[in-house]
Each structure stands twice: as C-alpha cells, then as structure tokens.
Amino acid sequence: MPVEFPGIGGGDTRDGPETAPRPAPGPRRSAARSVRAHRRYGWDRVLLASGSGSAAPARAAAPPVNGAGKNGEPESPALKVITTRHPGRWVAAAVIAVLLAMVASALITNPAWEWEVVGEFLFAPSVLRAVVFTLELTALGIVFGFLLGTVLALMRLSKNPLLSSAAWGYIALFRSIPLILQLLFWYNLALLYPRLSFGVPFGPAFFDIGTMDLIGPVTAAALGLALHQAAYAAEIVRAGLLSVDHGQREAAAALGIPRTRQLLRIVLPQAMRSIVPTAGNEIIGLVKGTSVVYIMALPELFYQVQVIYNRNGRVMALLLVATIWYLVMTSVMSVAQHYIERHYGKGRA
C-alpha cells in the first residue's frame, strides 16, 4: 500500500520502465518524479534502468500482470472439498470409553470405597475448613514465593556480581533442602532462637519478641512454602525474562522509557507468556505440596482427613474425599490458567 504525500507525485500512470526517469542527482526537494518511479520498481531497478540501459528489455520480458493468465484458462467447475476421514480416532475413542467404563464400575461396584461415607464427609464443615486453609497456604506460598522469586531472578540477571551470586547461592541452597526438612527447621526455630530482636545489626536492639509469638505454626508453614517456592520461581521468572528478545529492551531504552517501566510494561508482560504455563504447574504442585504441612499438625486437607479416619476407621473413603477435593482445586486452577495464558497471548494469535 503506497503512502501518498501531498506534493510528491503519486499518480498511477502505467508508463513503461524505459521511461523511468534517471533520479536527478540534485537537491532532494525536486525529486518527485523518481519517487514515483521508485514506488513501482524499487531503487535498484530504477538505477539499473537508468544506469545500464539494458534493464528495460529484461523488464519487458517479465510475466504479464494479472488478467492475462486467467483469460487463457478454461473456467473451472466448482469443486467440492472432502476432508480426510480418521477411522483410527473412532477406534481410539471406543477403547478409551471401555477403559473408563471399567474404572467407573470398579469404583462404584466395590463397596469397600464406601461412597455413602464419602458423601457424608465431602462437605463436612471440618473438611471445608481444611480445603480453605489449604488454599490459603497455597496462595501465601505462591504470592510470596513469586514476589521473592522475581527479586531473585532480577538479582541473578544483574550486572552486579555480588547480587547475582547471592541469588545463585539462595537458589542452590533452597533447591537442595527437602521442603519437609525446611518446614521442620522453621517450626522448631524457637528451639534454636527463643527470642528474636530487631535493631541495628550487631548493635543495640529496639525491641525483641518471643520467636513462638512471631512465628507460629501457620507462619512457619507459609514461610517455608514461600521460601522453597521462591527458589523455583526465580528460575522460572529468569527463563521468562531471557526469552524476551533483546531488541525489546533495546527499543525501550532507545525510546527513553524509564527503567522500571521498561521491566513492568515491556519485558515482564512478554515474559509472562513463558512464565505462566510453568508457574501454573508450580501452583498446582503447591496445592498438593501443602499436604507436607501435615507434619506440623496444621489442619490442612490431608491432615484433616487423617484426623477423621483415625477416629472412625474409614480410611479409603476419607482418602477419596481428599482426592476429590485436590482434583477439584487443581481443575479450577487449570481453567484459570487457560484464561491467563490467553490474556498474555494478546497480539500473538
């Protein structure tokens, strides 16, 4: 689509290339004619035509423009399109249907699953509270984990060697310690440091507080999950940032866009495209990962069903209750992830 500028040629005359004017090697303001020539042939062609003089016949021999070819051919009849059939798909569907039916039958007909007990406890208040608590722990772990993880990722990408090696050390350390051990450390922090004081490092303290009061079991659990998650989140965010074309940062810098704005408006949204799918994995992993917290006797879902089946002995039914809730939670999150991915896929469709 040619652009029209007032004052610069622009008629759609179809004169042959042999009349292409030699671009005048004079002041640019009198250049309208060769602009027009260029628009049709490109600069190199204009030069060829004007420089050698031998380009014109070559142009004349070029294939004719639209119209002629069409007239030469007979009118084709309207053709019907038949899409490829996929008989294999029907076979696969049948096999899967049979397998599903077998699983369903095994689940329903075996009285050992005690479906009525499942129904009784699925919406029991204590179970619902446990589900909510599980979600809370997940949210705390993810939000603080990704906040800290983003900071760590930026530190690792920093040119300051101290910052980047500090982040590297953190990630190496927290990825190596099993979550369950870390949780136990936090839980038992009070044994190691009964009181925590706040003030000038190695100097006077402004106030101090009992560790137990500050880091109760819930805080310890959330802290442990977040710190653990941060190590993984850092690598996910870093990979995301690296996946954004260097030219994006450069263009933003060339436009003088402030640094934080470059990150938040230009780089991170593009990084999200590769961060979200992996982060979704992490969140879903963490929903289930919270079950580790049961060792701290916190009433999350897995701990709660254990409490109940220790009381009534209906082990399988209650494990099924927990399974169903984990399934529901992760499925809802998968759907949410789909929409988030679509949001960050804007302009890429």
Partner 1 sequence: MSAAMVDLKAVHKSFGSLEVLRGVDLQVGAGEVTVIIGPSGSGKSTLLRTVNHLEKVDSGSVTVDGELVGYRRAGDRLYELSEREILRQRTRIGFVFQSFNLFPHLTVRQNVTEAPTSAQRRPKAEVEALAVRLLERVGLSDKIDAYPRQLSGGQQQRVAIARALALEPKVILFDEPTSALDPELVGEVLDVVKDLAVSGTTMIVVTHEIGFAREVADTVVFMDEGRIVERGTPAQVLDAPRHERTRLFLSKVL
At closest approach, how far in Å is the CB of 333 from partner 1? 24
Q: What tokens appear for 126 in the block? A: 């204590």
| C-beta closer to partner 1: residue 107 or 253 | 253
At closest approach, how far in Å is the CB of 273 from partner 1? 8
Interatomic CA distance for residues 160 and 346, integer angstroms: 34
Within 10 angstroms of residue 280's Cβ, the number of other Cβ atoms is 18
* Alpha-carbon separation of residue 195 from 9, 39, 75, 211, 216 (angstroms): 84, 79, 92, 5, 13
At closest approach, how far in Å is the CB of 24 from partner 1? 8
| C-beta closer to partner 1: residue 194 or 258 | 258
Interatomic CA distance for residues 190 and 196, integer angstroms: 9
| C-beta closer to partner 1: residue 48 or 221 | 48
At closest approach, how far in Å is the CB of 35 from partner 1? 7
| C-beta closer to partner 1: residue 92 or 251 | 251
Question: What's 35's DSSP letter?
Answer: H
Q: Side chain identity at 200, as an amino acid letter?
A: V
At closest approach, how far in Å is the CB of 303 from partner 1? 43
Interatomic CA distance for residues 153 and 231, integer angstroms: 9
The separation between CA 289 and the C-alpha centre of its own chain, rounded to angstroms, equals 20
Interatomic CA distance for residues 206 and 217, integer angstroms: 25
Torsional class of 342: left (φ above 0), alpha (ψ -120 to 50), beta (otherwise) = alpha
At closest approach, how far in Å is the CB of 163 from partner 1? 16
| C-beta closer to partner 1: residue 21 or 299 | 21
| C-beta closer to partner 1: residue 22 or 175 | 22
Dihedral sign for Cα atoms in the order 142, 144, 147, 150: negative
| C-beta closer to partner 1: residue 112 or 349 | 349
Closest listed residue to residue 288, CA positions, set 298, 302, 276 = 302
For residue 36, give the 3-state DSSP assignment. Answer: helix
Cβ partners under 8 Å of residue 272, min gap 6: 240, 344
Q: What tokens appear for 2 in the block? A: 């040619």
Q: Side chain identity at 253, as an amino acid letter?
A: A
At closest approach, how far in Å is the CB of 5 from partner 1? 5
Q: What tokens appear for 226 in the block? A: 């977040």
At closest approach, how far in Å is the CB of 72 from partner 1? 25
Give me the residues that bind partner 1 (CB under 8 A), please.
1-5, 7-8, 23-26, 28-29, 31, 34-35, 38-40, 42-44, 46-47, 51, 245, 247-248, 250-259, 261, 265-266, 269-270, 344, 346-349
| C-beta closer to partner 1: residue 173 or 251 | 251
At closest approach, how far in Å is the CB of 165 from partner 1? 23
Q: Say if residues 155 and 192 touch (Cβ distance below 8 Å).
A: no
| C-beta closer to partner 1: residue 35 or 307 | 35
